[in-house]
Amino acid sequence: MSSTEQHPVHFARRVEDLSESSIFHIGRRAKALSDQGHDIVRMDAGEPDFDTPRWIIDAAKQALDDGYTRYTPIAGLSILKDAIRNKFERENGLHFRDSEVMHSCGAKQALFNACLSLLGPADEVVIPSPHWGSYPAIAKIAGARIVEAPTRLEDGFVLTPETLERCMSERTRVVLLNTPNNPTGQIYSRDALAALGDVLLNYPNAFVITDDIYEHLRFGSEPFTNILNACPSLKDRTVVINGVSKAYAMTGWRVGIVAGPELLIAEMLKLQGQTNSHTAAVSQVAAAAALNGGLDDVHRMTNRFAQRARLVQEGIDRIGKIDCQPAQGSFYCLPDFSRVIESLDEVEDDQELGEWLLDELGIAMVPGSAFNAPGHMRLSFAANEESLQKGMERLQKAFA
C-alpha cells in the first residue's frame, strides 16, 4: 500500500473545484487514436495550423545572437512596450501611456492577472455565454460569483443590453467581453457595443475586460470595434487584452499584451512579479517584430480561414439535422447538434456525442457544454481544406 493510500492527500479547494477541460480531453483522445493509425479529422484545434511567418522567426534568431537571453522587466522589454502602444494607436485609435501597458505570458495570464487583481469572494463577474471555458474557471479561482449572461442564436449570439441589465448589480465587479468570439465565431458591431456601454456607464464600480485576441481574424469588410471605440467614457475602467498567438500563428511563443488604467496595471504587475515574472526575452522581441511588421501575412491567413468557413457552412447547410450561424470571425463556429443527439439511441448529450463522433466517424470536435452551450459542438476550421471536406462528407453521410 502506497503512502498516499495510507494517508489521503487533501488538495486546495480552488483546484478540487476545477474540472478537466473537454478541449484537452478530446484533443488527447484524438491524438492517441491518430498515433494508433486511425484516420481522425481534427476539428477541435484552438490554434492556427499555419507556421509563424519567417520574418518573425528571423527576428527571434537575431535576438538570440544579440544576447536576449536574460531576465527582462516584468512589464516587458521597452521595444515590446513601445510596439504595444503603437499597435493600439495605429490599429485601434487608442492612446495609452507607457505605465498603462504591459506584456504577459499569453492572453490567458493577462486575464488571470486582471481577474485576480479585481475580484474577491463578495464580487460578481458577468460572463456572456456561450464562452471560452477558462473565463469561469479563472473567476472561480478568484473566489468570485459567476453570473451567466445568456445569448441566443436568433440574436447572433451577441449579448443584448436588456440581458446585461438583468445581470448587473451593485456587486458586479467585472464584465467580460470577447469579440470575435470563441466559440461562436460571431462579432459585436459598434452599435451593439455602444448599447452595452450605455448600460455599463450606470455601474461605476464595474470594470470591463475585453478579450480581443481574435481581432484580426474577421471575414467581413466592417472594421474592428473595441468597446472603447464605441464608448470612450469607459476607459478608466476597461482592460484591453490581446496578443500575437492567433493573428500571427504564434501560440507557442506565449506573449499576451495588455492596456488599462495605470493603477490596475500596477496591481497586475505586482501579481505577475510574484508568479512567472515575464515570458522569454526572445519571445518578447519576436512579438515586437510581429506588432511592428504589418498585417500582410495576417490577411493572407485570414482569407484562408474565410474560405474554410464557407466550406464548412456549405457542408453543414446540406445536413437538415444541424443548424449553424455562419462564422463572422475567429476560426470557429458552433453548430446546434440537438436533433442529431435526439436521433442517436446511444447518445444522451453533447459530451457523449463528442465521444461518439470520435469513435464512430473519426471526427474530433469539442462538446458545447465546455462553453456553456449544451447540445452544440464547437467546430474549428483551423485545419486544411482536405481534412475539413472529409469531415463534412462524414457528417453528411451519417446525418443527411
Q: What is the pLDDT of residues 294-316, one digit of tens each?
A: 999 999 999 999 999 999 999 99
Report whether pLDDT(188) > 70: yes
Please provide the distance, in angstroms rounded to a whole number, between the alpha carbons at the two ends of the chain.
Answer: 54
Same fold, 3-51+297-399 and 70-292: no
Which superfamily is assigned to 3-51+297-399 in CATH? Aspartate Aminotransferase, domain 1 (3.90.1150.10)
Q: Which helix (H) or strand (E) holds 284?
A: helix 281-292
All residues at 6 or more sequence positions from 376 whose CB lies less than 8 Å from its CB, including other chains: 130, 334, 335, 336, 337, 338, 350, 368
Report whether pLDDT(4) > 80: no
What does the domain layout of the chain look like in residue ranges? Answer: 3-51+297-399, 70-292
pLDDT at position 10, please?
A: 81
Report whether pLDDT(131) > 70: yes
**Alpha-carbon 216 to chain mean position:** 13
User: For cell 482592460, what's the residue?
Assistant: 239
Q: Which cell numbers in the block locate residue 100? A: 498603462
Predicted confidence (pLDDT) per residue in 44-88, tens digit:
989 999 999 999 999 999 999 999 999 999 999 999 999 999 999
pLDDT at position 212, please?
A: 98
Predicted confidence (pLDDT) per residue in 108-124, tens digit:
999 999 999 999 998 99
Q: DSSP states of 14-68 as a string?
A: HHHT----HHHHHHHHHHHHHHTT---EE----S-SSPPPHHHHHHHHHHHHTT-
Is the separation of the CB atoms in 272 and 278 below 8 Å?
yes
Q: Which cell numbers in the block locate residue 264? A: 490596475
Is the separation of the CB atoms in 261 and 102 below 8 Å?
no
Q: Which residues of 28-57 are buried (b: 16+ CB within 10 A; e: fewer)?
A: ebbeebeeeeeebbbbbbbebbeebbeebe
pLDDT at position 2, please?
A: 58
Report whether pLDDT(346) > 90: yes
pLDDT at position 12, please?
A: 86
Find the length of the chain: 400
CA gyration radius for the chain?
21
Q: What is the mean pLDDT of the chain?
A: 95
- In sequence order, what are the beta bridge partners of 229? none
Collapsing DSSP to helix, strand or coil, 233 comes out as: helix
Report whether pLDDT(1) > 70: no
Q: DSSP states of 341-389 as a string?
A: HHH-TT--SHHHHHHHIIIII-EE-EEGGGGT-TTBEEEE--S-HHHHH
Report whether pLDDT(7) > 80: no
Q: How confident is the model at residue 153 (pLDDT cuts 50, 70, 90)?
A: confident
What is the three-state SS of 236-291?
HHEEEEEECCCCCCCHHHCCEEEECCHHHHHHHHHHHHCCCCCCCHHHHHHHHHHH
pLDDT at position 9, please?
A: 83
Is the separation of the CB atoms in 321 and 342 below 8 Å?
no
Predicted confidence (pLDDT) per residue in 9-49, tens digit:
888 888 877 776 778 889 899 999 999 999 999 999 899 99
Predicted confidence (pLDDT) per residue in 220-239, tens digit:
988 999 999 999 999 999 99
Prediction pTM value: 0.94
pLDDT at position 274, please?
A: 96
What is the arithmetic mean of pLDDT over 248-260? 98
pLDDT at position 14, please?
A: 82
Collapsing DSSP to helix, strand or coil, 126 comes out as: strand
Collapsing DSSP to helix, strand or coil, 137 comes out as: helix
**Domain 70-292 is of which CATH architecture?**
3-Layer(aba) Sandwich (3.40)
